[in-house]
A and B are shown apart, each in its own frame.
Chain A
Amino acid sequence: MPFKYYGGVHPDEMKQPHLAVSTIPQPSQVVIPLQMHIGAPCQPLVKVGDQVTMGQKIGDNPAPLCAPIHATVSGKVVAIEPRRHCVVGDLVPSIVIENDGLDTPCTDLAPLTEEELKNPEAIIQRIREAGVVGMGGAMFPTHFKIQGGRGKVDTLIINGAECEPYLNGDHRTMLEHPVELLKGIELVRIAQGVDTAYYGIEENKQDAIDLLNSLNPEQYGVVIVPEKVKYPQGAEKMQVKANTNREVKPGGIPSGVGCNVVSTFTAYSVYRACYEGRPLIERVLSVGGSAIEPANVLIRFGTPIQHVIDNLGGFKRPIDRIVLGGPMMGFASFDQSCGLIKGISGLLCFTEDENRDVEHPTCIRCGKCIEVCPMKLQPIHMYMYTQKKDYEAMQKFHVMDCFECGSCTYNCPGRLPLTPTFKMGKAMLKANDAKMRAKAEAAEKK
């Protein structure tokens, strides 16, 4: 029985879990940013004009917090130049590969041997080499998370909540590759050095829960935990609370309370890296919103956004916004020539009818933001003081501890831009902190 936590909302699910994962023709060109993870950016390992194979490592960095990148198609490197990053928005060094359409596979990574599959070091090493990162959206290098948690972590939680509306990638993976998924979880569990992995799945995926339970998950050391359907069930801190009743301290991470949370598609990618020797070059992307035909498609990283839209029949209705990721925590896309990256789980095309923002947002002091904040913060006051740039009050109301789930903003009848303001407020506080520190240092020198 999962444990309860305060707050949360119930957005319309809008999911299309019955649509099997399909493929679209590969693009003629892929644009792969040298940074698709949190940490040190990769250095290119290839030159313009080089022939590359599908899955060949093309970028890496010896820094510990880094995940390498791989060619997602075979062909020729035609450019290594700054291109716009679909999430960050800045120009970041990227590798552009002209697709030869052959998908010649790379044989650098062999499947792990029976013995290696039981060896935590070998698995962690392979996770790193395969460029596996947190596929829930944070893109934190998985090998670093597991390595960092070794010895500290006593509970491994696999995140199968998929609580964001519209997204089905994890659900489809559970239905289409249940055995591979369980084996992947087993590998993560062995690498983490724990006996049991708790697999938290929201109850709206009952078919997947039944299927996984019928496959005798105990033999892989996996326990399926059906969870209440509630956003943000899939947030790390909420998963830890629901599965273990432990609460991560403000500013802390799950390993601080002995837990590590790994997402479903990450575990599946670990399976493919270890059993099949395939690096992470593709993922399931859920396409939704009323301006486009819904689909769950397998896309290679670097595929331009426009290519996906075109191959699904283009826009059905006049488009208002394009969202990368889920509608609660995703990012608005501003340039459809950008390549898709590892952490993007959804591509949502919304019409104006789906936009409920208003011209004059007005707080009516209803307190509904406070009722739904899973971190038990007070968004109404955080908003007020962030707008006034009152740093002291912002800290007092813990603006830094907002993890931007968007529940308050979803629930706000006055339609205030709460979460975007907190994102800005966090940046402001960080900048102010740096300024104060510099000042203090300068004063000390005198």
Chain B
Amino acid sequence: MTEKMLYNVSGAPFVRSKTDTSTIMRDVLIALVPALAVAVWQFGLKALLNVVVSVVACVAFEYIYRKLMKKHDTIGDLSACVTGVLMVYCMPVGVSWWMIVLGAFFAIIVVKQLYGGIGKNFLNPALAGRAFLLSYPVAMTTYAIPSALSGVVDGETMATPLSYMYAGEALPEYFSLGNLFLGGISGCIGEVSALALILGGAYLLYRKVISWRIPVTFIGTVAVLTLVFGHEGYGNVEWMLLNLCSGGLMLGAIFMATDYCTSPVTPNGQLIFGVGCGILTVLIRYFGGYAEGVSYAILLMNLLTWAIDKATPQTQFGISKADKKVAEAEKKAEKAAVKAEKLQKQVEKLHAEGGHK
């Protein structure tokens, strides 16, 4: 038996949970599989090809950048794969491969690696990549007809439910709630089926990869606001359900807004973040020139993450509400005392000056 002369003497604890970064990212990839199945069913193998191109590009950029910069290799944590999948999930099926590669470059190199890699970026790389590619607005908003609607809709391309809803037009009959829920609609490849995304979300909750706070507050806020404000020509409940199942809401709320690195770490902060995303989504949908609000809502809230974290510290164990009030009052009193002292000094100074004259 070989015996080491020097034992490992690191500090406690000596046991670690089985969950590490790569198992978390693996779980996210697993949770994204139902949506991929729907994408392939509705948009054909091109959808799968897009995903493969995106993942390969993201992983390659991450590998090459870290290699060139002489940093340790991080492709094993699978976060680049997740970015690749998510980015292509929020693009239509018709985008060309070079656009995907360009988006991957922006997402991985500019947004993620230039800020230090995983855990350091302040924008969601996948969403930032998509936002960057929207500088090609035509390609990014040309939606193919899903297989569920082939024969129903004429032509090569069609508009999304959201664009009908917010253009003030009546929703065509084939955009039934059932189709919206199951995924038989036009849109970005990963966002069409609310059901597939909810299944993935349930898996992530079960695996404790995400907490309920951001998705529930995000979706809940959108639900409440659309229910309350409604829209001409639609029943309020119908309007709410259409809003929940259309666009990137489910994909954004379950997979994008819950991105660890770009969302608050404090429990209360996560609640605020979710509500903020919901409000911004509804605002953009109602008043923006662009019917899809989720990605910009999340990107805008990403920028507030640090401030939200700062504003929502945890209340320590052993500190009651009364204690907190006392502490706050003491702080106020202290500030007031400092101010009073300053004023007193000023008065004295003025007196002294007055005396000279």
Residues of A that sit less than 8 Å from B by CB: 5-6, 9, 11-12, 165, 237, 241, 247-250, 252, 314-315, 318-323, 327-334, 348, 350, 354-360, 362-367, 370-371, 373-378, 380-381, 397-398, 401, 404, 406, 409-415, 417, 419-420, 423
Contacts and interface: CB of A to CB of B under 8 A. Distances in A.
Given A333-B9, A364-B24, A413-B23, 14 more contacts: A237-B317, A247-B320, A315-B1, A318-B4, A320-B8, A321-B9, A327-B13, A327-B15, A329-B13, A354-B14, A358-B20, A397-B313, A413-B17, A417-B11
A366 B260 contact: yes
Contacts of A362: 21, 74, 77, 117-119
A169 B308 CA distance: 46
Contacts of A397: 313
A417 B10 contact: yes
A315 B117 CA distance: 41
Contacts of B2: 318
A334 B309 CA distance: 40
Contacts of A373: 314
A377 B318 CA distance: 11
B314 to A, nearest CB: 5
A252 B4 CA distance: 43
A354 B15 contact: yes
Contact of A333 (B7, B11, B260, B270): B7
Given A319-B7, A415-B20, A376 B13 contact: no
A328 B13 contact: yes
A327 B11 CA distance: 10
Interface in B237-275: 260-261, 264-267, 270
A361 to B, nearest CB: 10
B138 interface: no
Interface in B167-183: none
B161 to A, nearest CB: 34
Contact of A6 (B118, B261, B317): B317
A359 B8 CA distance: 14
A348 B1 contact: no
Contact of A363 (B10, B74, B119): B119
B72 interface: yes
Contacts of B315: 376
B90 to A, nearest CB: 22
A330 B12 contact: yes
B135 interface: no
B21 A413 contact: yes
A332 B314 contact: no
B14 A323 contact: yes
B10 A321 contact: yes
Contacts of A420: 10-12
6 contacts: A323-B14, A328-B14, A332-B7, A359-B72, A362-B77, A409-B13
B59 to A, nearest CB: 17
A426 to B, nearest CB: 12
Nearest to A412: B16
A409 B10 CA distance: 13
B69 to A, nearest CB: 14
Contacts of A11: 15, 17
Given A318-B1, A319-B7, A414 B119 contact: yes
B11 A423 contact: yes
B118 A247 contact: no
Contacts of A413: 17, 19-21, 23-24
Contacts of B79: 364
A349 B18 CA distance: 19
B31 to A, nearest CB: 15
Interface string B71-90: 01010010100000000000
Contact of A356 (B3, B11, B16, B211): B16
A94 B270 CA distance: 54
Contacts of B16: 356-357, 409-410, 412, 415
Given A252-B318, A320-B8, A328 B15 contact: yes
A371 to B, nearest CB: 7
A413 B3 CA distance: 30
Contacts of A332: 7-12, 14
B3 A247 contact: no
Contacts of A6: 317
Interface in B30-71: none
A5 B17 contact: no
B14 A321 contact: yes
Contact of B265 (A247, A357, A365): A365
Contact of B317 (A5, A328, A415): A5
A11 B16 CA distance: 8
Contacts of A415: 16, 20
Nearest to A251: B318
B152 interface: no
B3 A319 contact: yes
A49 B74 CA distance: 62
Given A365-B260, A366-B260, A376 B12 contact: no
Interface in B99-151: 117-119
B120 to A, nearest CB: 9
A401 B4 contact: no
A378 B4 contact: no
Nearest to B18: A356
B72 A380 contact: no
3 closest residue pairs by CB, A with B: A420-B11, A406-B13, A367-B265
B145 to A, nearest CB: 39
Nearest to A379: B265
Contact of B318 (A237, A328, A334, A350): A237
A357 B14 CA distance: 9
A239 to B, nearest CB: 13
Contact of A331 (B12, B270, B314, B323): B12
A250 B270 CA distance: 25
B72 A376 contact: no
A397 B313 CA distance: 9
Nearest to A369: B265
B319 interface: yes
B12 A327 contact: yes
A4 to B, nearest CB: 12
Nearest to B9: A332
Given A367-B265, A378-B314, A350 B9 contact: no
A245 B245 CA distance: 44
Nearest to A380: B265
B264 to A, nearest CB: 8
A11 B317 CA distance: 22
Contacts of B264: 367
Interface in B309-339: 309, 313-320, 323
B261 A364 contact: yes
A419 B3 contact: no
B265 A250 contact: no
